[in-house]
Amino acid sequence: MDTDGRITIPTVGPVFLSGYTLEKAKERLMRSMSKSYAGLVESPPTIYMDVSISKLRPVRVFIMGEVVNPGGYYVNNFASVFNSLFAVNGPKASGSLRQVRLTRNNKPVAKVDLYDYLLGAPKTEDVRVNDNDLVFVPLRGRTVGIKGEVLRPARYELLPGEQLTRLLEFSGGIHTSMYLNRVQLDRIIPFDQRKKGEPDRKIFDIDFARIASGKGTTSWKMVTL
């Protein structure tokens, strides 16, 4: 197979096979070769064909953005976006783990949420990479820290629209020893909302028990972060 993914067969000519599974490649070869070897499609066939793989050619992927070692890398033919990031030692602390972008032939193909792997989601949306694909890690988005009586205290990146309910999922939920009547929210005021002479951060007390029971004025799932 040449660098463009074609194989050339005498009396048949070039056949493009890049990106096909072994079974699909065999079907494509059968159709192309039957034009010169009719015995392949006779019933019963008088000519037989077998296809096997002796060696997988690595694919070259360009990994850019907020990663430790950006550049072009050769990865396994079956590598995914998640696997490819290992080649550059993963995203930097400033890189997003929620919106890793895959571009192919200058067109967006997918966005991959690496939290699916880190948090054990039953189904992930990882995508296999092809030759000359671009994997781009953008800057980390909105980040919220959670500590105290939760199972996994840490800082987590939240996507637009994700609220307290999602943050609690990431943190593994609350301990049974948690005091539900008081949850503190420490918020840094955005630059465009700050007023002269006022502090640049505020602390709010949330009656978690009242909100969780549905007796509050708003659902705890909609507490804005």
The answer on 116 and 154 residing in a single domain is: no
Tokens of 89: 């030692």
pLDDT tens for 22-65 read: 888 888 888 888 888 888 888 888 888 888 777 677 889 999 99
pLDDT tens for 102-160 read: 999 999 999 999 988 877 765 566 788 999 999 999 999 999 999 988 899 999 999 98
Residues pairing with 143 in the sheet: 157
The answer on 201 and 152 residing in a single domain is: yes
CA distances from 112 to 5, 125, 215 (A): 26, 6, 38
97 by Cβ neighbours in 10 Å (0-12 / 13-18 / 19+) ranks as buried
162 by Cβ neighbours in 10 Å (0-12 / 13-18 / 19+) ranks as middle
The answer on 111 and 88 residing in a single domain is: yes
The answer on 154 and 211 residing in a single domain is: yes
CA distance 100 to 61: 14
Is the pTM for the entire model greater than 0.85?
A: no
The answer on 130 and 80 residing in a single domain is: yes
The answer on 211 and 151 residing in a single domain is: yes
Q: Domain of 39? A: 1-54
> According to the model, what pLDDT value does residue 120 have?
73
The answer on 153 and 133 residing in a single domain is: no
| Percent of the chain whose pLDDT exceeds 90 | 28
Q: Confidence class of residue 220 from pLDDT cuts 50, 70 and 90?
A: very low
pLDDT tens for 149-191 read: 889 999 999 998 888 878 888 898 888 887 777 788 888 888 8
Tokens of 14: 């070039």
DSSP 106: T
Domain limit, last residue, from 137, 152, 171 = 137
Cβ atoms of residues 111 and 105 within 8 Å: no
| Residues comprising the chain, all counted | 225
The answer on 155 and 103 residing in a single domain is: no
CA distance 185 to 204: 5
Mean confidence (pLDDT) of the chain: 84
For 172, the enclosing helix (H) or strand (E) is none
